[in-house]
Amino acid sequence: MGCCASSLIEEAPHEEEKEQQQTTQKTLSHQFTPPPSSGLDPPTNGASFFSEFSFSYLKAATNNFSSDNIVSESGEKAPNIVYKGRLQNRQWIAVKKFTKMAWPDPKQFKEEACGVGKLRHNRLANLIGYCCDGDERLLVAEYMPNDTLAKHLFHFPTVQVAASLGDFSDSIGENQTIEWAMRLRVAFYIAEALDYCHAEDHSLYHDLNAYRVLFDEHGDPCLSCFGLMKNSRDGKSYSTNLAYMPPEYIKNERVTPESVIYSFGTVLLDLLSGKHIPPSHALDMIQGKNIDLLMDSHLEGNFSTEEATVVFGLASQCLQYEPRERPSTKDIVAMLAPLQTKPDIPSHVMLQILKNDGAPSTPRRPLSPMGEACSRTDLTAIHQILVTMHYRDDEGTNELSFQEWTQQMRDMLEARKRGDFAFRDKDFKTAIDCYSQFIDGGTMVSPTVFARRSLCYLFSDQPDAALLDAMQAQCVYPDWPIAFYMQSVALAKLNMHKDAADMLNEAAGFEKKRQQGGKGS
């Protein structure tokens, strides 16, 4: 299964690193289905690059679009289903699969997707790719693992946590709901997302509601990027009933920036009341100063009346019948910013969810010396093992006839030999240069060279490039334990410890199979 080669590069590289990374990505693009990048500028906040994916790749990533992977609130009943998937680099993704011919014009779909794909903000669940194979139309976004605002507000469960989890050891409480400060943070973050989109000339957001607000791995609220796509032929800009639609949309079925503000007002009502209340009914109660009756009863005694009055006033402005009387996104941000009274408390604490702090779990399988070294990220021990192994696992990856032994190939092998000497002597910069010369020759492929260069990158504090090489080694030799082991070390260096532990366990599994009769270890 292929993946976007650049999707784990978290920061724009230094100039001297760019050339090497571009070389690596060029090599990967010949093996992976999606191209490494669509030419958009790299994000500055760690978000993934934007790519075009093949349908077969996304089919594999979602386990053949299994019903077990559906994360849409309406499940299989939704016209456009959202699936959870996983790239080969272990990144989780959300894949929105439209109905057949939802977008009959592939050019329009691609243009819309690429436009939204340029947006990068930590208040958005960013769009990282799309698929436009035949009649298939799919969008690929960052996966948000902690459900929607609707689920937390309207369907909150009793929270039970195992005693082994330290500070969260006991039952946190019964029928937990979102605390007041967190509701204010949700409103503020979504307002910031809308203001960013407005500044980037994407001020139209379709069907903004509590189901479009997602929570990331840290518990921070993010706005789904899917609502930024324009209307498709079989879709509607609003899926809710008439009572919640902007008045002007009912008249002309056109979404305007002011329509988005109206919808934001309905989200504010959801946050205040904990219920989905028709705006007209809420406005009558606000004007009648019956604010206490509108407030979520679960917040009784745990909110500021002054702050609630401000938010109700803002909701009332957003829900004005005349579009021109509604505030701008910048005005909304300015009104909500002073209400952020707990900026130092993490969202996952206020939301009362468990955050994965990245502590690596113990693999379920016993580990070999290589596995033990990788579990400790002991680069010196890994180096000694790779030197001892030499090229014994490359057998069969290059079966060349006598006629194929050209001068170019002799030069490539000479470059590899120089790289081997440098690798043995721990001259990792020279080893990278020599191994890159061998790889760029393109005639021969060697999983061992990729593994060795991967380790050189780790010694050079370039874990992103190390991960790319380890992934390429897996492409050349799909079941090779060393490729998985090297990926686990690179993931650990990238602070993706849970994924590193999973990869380490997977490597141990392949190693066990080899010992039971596979290719010699």
7-36 pLDDT, tens digit per residue, is: 333 333 343 344 444 433 333 333 333 333
Q: From CA 405, how far away is CA 401, in angstroms rounded?
A: 7
| 215, β-bridge pairs | 221
**Interior angle at CA 300, CA 299 and CA 302, nearest 5:** 65
Q: Which two tokens stand for residue 51?
A: 């790519």
For the cut 80, the answer to whether the pLDDT of residue 380 exceeds it is: yes
pLDDT, residue 200, reads 94
More confident residue, 312 or 441: 312
> What percent of the chain lies above the pLDDT cut of 70?
76
pLDDT, residue 404, reads 47
**Predicted model pTM:** 0.61
More confident residue, 189 or 235: 189
Rounded to an integer, the average pLDDT of 225-243 is 65
Write the CB contacts of 181 (distance below 8 Å, at least 6 apart in sequence): 340, 341, 342, 345, 350
**Interior angle at CA 336, CA 333 and CA 340, nearest 5:** 125
Chain-wide mean pLDDT for the chain?
79
344 is annotated as an active-site residue: no
Rounded to an integer, the average pLDDT of 38-62 is 66
pLDDT, residue 520, reads 41
Q: From CA 389, how far away is CA 410, in angstroms rounded?
A: 23
> What percent of the chain lies above the pLDDT cut of 90?
48
Q: Which domains does the chain have, with CATH numbers?
A: 1-143 (3.30.200.20), 147-220+231-355 (1.10.510.10), 369-515 (1.25.40.10)
- CA–chain centroid gap for 278, Å, is 34
Active-site hit among 195, 207, 296, 394: 207
pLDDT, residue 29, reads 33
Residue type, 449: V
| 338, β-bridge pairs | none
pLDDT, residue 89, reads 72
Rounded to an integer, the average pLDDT of 499-517 is 83
H/E stretch holding 222: strand 221-224
Q: From CA 481, how far away is CA 373, in angstroms rounded?
A: 13
Rounded to an integer, the average pLDDT of 402-420 is 75
For the cut 60, the answer to whether the pLDDT of residue 394 exceeds it is: yes
**Where does the pLDDT of residue 90 fall: very low under 50, low under 70, confident under 90, or very high at 90 and above?**
confident
pLDDT, residue 31, reads 32
For the cut 70, the answer to whether the pLDDT of residue 239 exceeds it is: no
Rounded to an integer, the average pLDDT of 180-198 is 97
Q: Is 17 exposed, middle or buried (0-12, 13-18, 19+ CB in 10 A)?
A: middle
More confident residue, 408 or 270: 270
**Where does the pLDDT of residue 53 fall: very low under 50, low under 70, confident under 90, or very high at 90 and above?**
very high
**Where does the pLDDT of residue 498 fall: very low under 50, low under 70, confident under 90, or very high at 90 and above?**
confident
More confident residue, 287 or 179: 179
Rounded to an integer, the average pLDDT of 270-276 is 91
pLDDT, residue 37, reads 33
Rounded to an integer, the average pLDDT of 208-223 is 94
**Where does the pLDDT of residue 395 fall: very low under 50, low under 70, confident under 90, or very high at 90 and above?**
low
pLDDT, residue 511, reads 86
Q: From CA 485, how far away is CA 511, in angstroms rounded?
A: 10
pLDDT, residue 312, reads 93
Residue found under tokens 């979520």? 296
More confident residue, 78 or 179: 179
pLDDT tens readout for residues 336-375: 999 999 999 999 999 888 765 433 343 455 678 898 889 8
Residue found under tokens 């390429």? 472
pLDDT, residue 27, reads 33
pLDDT, residue 241, reads 59
pLDDT tens readout for residues 114-173: 999 999 999 999 999 999 999 999 999 999 999 999 999 987 553 333 222 233 223 333
pLDDT, residue 517, reads 62
Write the CB contacts of 220 (distance below 8 Å, at least 6 apart in sequence): 122, 189, 347
pLDDT, residue 433, reads 95
